[in-house]
Amino acid sequence: MAKETFEFQAETKQLLDLMIHSIYTNREIFLRELISNASDAMDKLHFESLTNRDMLEGNENYEIFLVPDKESKTLTISDSGIGMSRAEVVENIGTIAKSGTKAFMEQLAKAKEESGGTADKELIGQFGVGFYSAFMVAERVTIVTRRAGEQQATRWESAGDGSYTIEDAEKEQRGTTVTIHLAKEFTEGETDYTDTFELESLVKKYSDYVRYPIRMNVTTEEMPRDDEGKVIEGAEKIKKTELRTLNSMQPLWTRAKSEIKAEEYNDFFRDQFHEWEAPMEVFHTKAEGTVEYTALLEIPARAPFNLYQADYEPGIQLYSRHVFIMDKCKDLLPDYLRFVKGLVDSPDLSLNISRELLQQSRELKTIGRALEKNVLKALGKKLEKNREDYEKFWNEYGRMLKIGIYNSMYVGRDTVDKLKDLLLFHSSKEGALVSLKEYVARMPESQKSIYYATAKDQATIEQLPQMEQLRERGLEVLFLLDPVDEFAIETVHEYEGKNFHSISRGDLDLGDAESEAAKKETEDIAKANDDLIKDVKEAIGDKIAEVKISQRLRSSAVCLVADEAGPSLSMEQTFAEMNN
């Protein structure tokens, strides 16, 4: 196919502009990004080759090569990964639909809004900014790539100025070669990316645990020595070139927990899972029971924007003996923990079985159950010991737990028992969040039920006529402000023997002497006003089920209540919205 020129999409141009013109100082991260792409590409090849060995083309070498060239002022990064077809180059490099970059742009827009437009420079370093970061140091970038198993190679080139070209090329080895034509300021002096020493230290700093060897020819100069090992003064230096592996390749999770600094965990999740803030919680567990495994999991500082969307994919990777097997595994943790990210490495997970079989494997289930327990235990402890942190967690992810409870209707009630103590609700007491345990602990003895009210906001509930009676008696009411709250409560059904009672549903039996007397009084009034009740019922007709004399009001004359057995008003509203 002939050479074609394409315009970048507007979004990409915007990103490029930011990369090139920001005065951001931490430009060195471009190397980490390109190495991480190379490593991803080899993971992909490895995974596909499990079911299609031909893709390896008889070459099972997985490695990343760095070639700095002072003469041509270039730095080349090659990998023996999966490579890309022409269409894939257009799709993956020409657009920023790809995960890391897209998330970056979204966070950036958000942060810009919050900071009034000043945040972008500091932010770049915190993200996995992706391939385009090459333009922070490049005048021009060339990619030559050939997809494993295919004949035709493709060449992509851009000066980062709004367009790029694509043409056919030749490439013997499968995989991708990215050549960075370095801008002048990066080929000399303090930041010289053609300097092997500089590159070696960058790899150590950012990419030490990359699972594949990162290799480079390193030339050193030495003074010649005589037979006794003494330097021969005045002689010409001897040049020695050796092929070095720059990274230790020891994955972070295989190291002892006690030796790992918080910083290292943070860097790991930033590089491997595109986090831009330090995790809220890190779990690093090793187990040697019936199933042996190591897990390194995190709860990200913030819930991803698409957590509640149907196409959300959980970020769990699986490894067997440090070899990557699978990304985005759905079947390790229950769905309500879908926000937990990280990886599990276990020799008991089989490398060579299909994705489907792996997801059903007994070992995976065993590991998942143990990890679920760990996570819930840690959350319980946080709630008890560090309320402020727990509420931060709750604000980000609480909704997911409530949905988990609601969905347990379909998968079995044990989820309810696991999660009910982790729930928090707003309440009429001090406007603070309260757990069910706390609520029940301060119930007066005469109170039989846990009272709750549902509405879109607190003010609406405060104005409910039904609130008057409860407030007068100092009874606490849970404020269910999110439609899913009521579904969750309905599913929990009872807590420590107390049932839940919506204050806008049926009769409020407040259980004390006062309300006994009131009940009697109501019956008397109802008898005396039989005719009035009939008249009202006739006048309104089918729109209501019943007209009743009630004690629940103080200053209001009438109120609408839901039937004891039927759905509450707000549930009816939710159902109506869902069916629209």
Annotated binding-site residue numbers for ATP: 33, 37, 79, 84, 92, 98-100, 126-131, 176, 355
Query: Is residue 98 involved in binding ligand ADP (CB under 6 A)?
Result: yes
Tell me: does residue 131 bind ligand ADP (CB under 6 A): yes
Please, what is the minimum distance in Å from the beta carbon of residue 52 to ligand ADP?
17
Of 141 and 455, which CB lies nearer to ligand ADP in the complex structure? 141
Which helix (H) or strand (E) segment holds residue 344: the answer is strand 341-345
Query: In the bound complex, which residue of the shown chain has the CB atom lying closest to ligand ADP?
Result: 100
**How many positions of this chain bind Mg ion (CB under 5 A)?**
2
One residue of 27, 73, 86, 130 binding ligand ADP per CB under 6 A:
130
Q: Is there a contact between 533 and 478 (Cβ–Cβ < 8 Å)?
A: no
- Measured distance CA(464)–CA(10) in Å, rounded: 51
CB of 272 to Mg ion, least distance (A): 11
Q: Kindly identify the residues of this chain, within the stretch 25-54, that bind ligand ADP according to CB under 6 A.
A: 33, 37-38, 40-41
Per rule CB under 5 A, is residue 37 in the interface with Mg ion?
yes
Q: Is 158 in the site for ligand ADP (CB under 6 A)?
A: no
Counting contacts by CB under 6 A, is residue 251 touching ligand ADP? no
- The amino acid sitting at 409 is M
Question: Residue 182's beta-bridge partner residues?
Answer: 138
Q: How many helices (H) and strands (E) does the chain have?
A: 18, 22
Q: How many CA atoms lie within 13 A of 486 on its CB side?
A: 25
Q: Is the Cβ of residue 141 or residue 296 nearer to ligand ADP in the bound state?
A: 141
Crossing angle (nearest 10°) for helices 262-273 and 196-207? 100
Residue placing its CB nearer to ligand ADP in the complex, 100 or 398: 100
CA 316 – CA 338 distance, rounded (Å): 9
In the chain, the largest separation of any two C-alpha atoms, in whole Å, equals 124
Shortest distance, CB of residue 569 to ligand ADP, whole angstroms?
A: 46
Q: Applying CB under 5 A, does 39 fall inside the site for Mg ion?
A: no
Only one of the segments 77-85, 106-114, 401-409, 464-472 lies at the binding site for ligand ADP (rule: CB under 6 A); that segment is: 77-85
Rounded distance, CA 186 to CA 178, Å?
17
- If the CB atoms of residues 37 and 415 are measured against ligand ADP, the closer one turns out to be 37
Alpha helices (H) along 194-347:
196-207, 262-273
How near is the Cβ of 75 to Mg ion at its closest, in Å? 17
Tell me the torsion sign for CA atoms 413, 414, 417, 419: negative
Q: Does 74 bind Mg ion (CB under 5 A)?
A: no
Q: Binding segment for Mg ion among 10-18, 122-130, 301-309, 547-555 (CB under 5 A)?
A: 122-130
Residue 81 touches Mg ion, criterion: CB under 5 A: no
Considering CB distances under 5 to 8 angstroms, the limit depending on partner class, which of Mg ion, ligand ADP, none binds residue 81? ligand ADP
| Residue (of 56, 51, 65, 101) closest to 83 by Cα position | 56
**Token couple for 60:** 């099972």
Considering only 12, 74, 101, 346, the residue that binds ligand ADP (CB under 6 A) is: 101
**Taking phi first (over 0 means left), then psi (-120 to 50 degrees means alpha), and beta for anything else, what does residue 53 get?**
alpha
With contacts defined by CB under 6 A, name the span among 90-98, 237-245, 451-459, 473-481 that binds ligand ADP: 90-98
Dist CA 292 CA 270 (whole Å): 27
Q: How far is CA 580 from the centre of its chain?
A: 30
Indicate whether 179 belongs to the interface with Mg ion (CB under 5 A). Answer: no
- Candidates 129-137, 153-161, 241-249, 346-354: pick the segment binding Mg ion (CB under 5 A): 129-137
Residue of 68, 94, 100, 300 that binds ligand ADP (CB under 6 A): 100
* Residue corresponding to tokens 């060579």: 352
- In the list Mg ion, ligand ADP, none, the entry touching 212 (Cβ below 5 to 8 angstroms by class) is none
Q: Out of 81, 130, 315, 465, which residue is the one contacting Mg ion (CB under 5 A)?
A: 130
Stretch that binds ligand ADP, among 63-71, 96-104, 247-255, 285-293 (CB under 6 A): 96-104
| CA–CA distance, 466 with 508 (Å, rounded to integer) | 9
> Could you tell which of ligand ADP, Mg ion, none binds residue 101, using a CB distance below 5 to 8 A set by kind?
ligand ADP
From the list 388, 103, 134, 139, the residue with the least C-alpha distance to 273 is 103
**Of 162, 165, 202, nearest in space to 66 by CA:** 202
Query: Can residue 568 be called a binding residue for Mg ion (CB under 5 A)?
Result: no
DSSP three-state, residue 159: coil
- CB of residue 10 to ligand ADP, shortest distance in Å: 17
- The closest of 272, 261, 217 to 242, measured between CA atoms, is 217
Stretch that binds Mg ion, among 29-37, 82-90, 185-193, 310-318 (CB under 5 A): 29-37
Does residue 451 belong to the site contacting ligand ADP (CB under 6 A)? no
Q: Which does 465 bind (CB under 5 to 8 A by kind): ligand ADP, Mg ion, none?
A: none
Report in angstroms how near the CB of residue 102 gets to ligand ADP at its nearest.
Answer: 8
* Residues 305 and 262 sit within 8 Å (Cβ to Cβ): no
Q: What would the two tokens of residue 415 be?
A: 């989820």
281/376 Cα distance (integer angstroms):
12
Whole-number Å distance between alpha carbons of 240 and 233 = 18
Q: What is the DSSP letter of 235?
A: P
The residues that touch ligand ADP, with contacts defined as CB under 6 A, are 33, 37-38, 40-41, 79, 81-84, 92-93, 98-101, 128, 130-131, 176
Using CB under 5 A as the criterion, which residues of the chain lie in contact with Mg ion when the complex forms? 37, 130
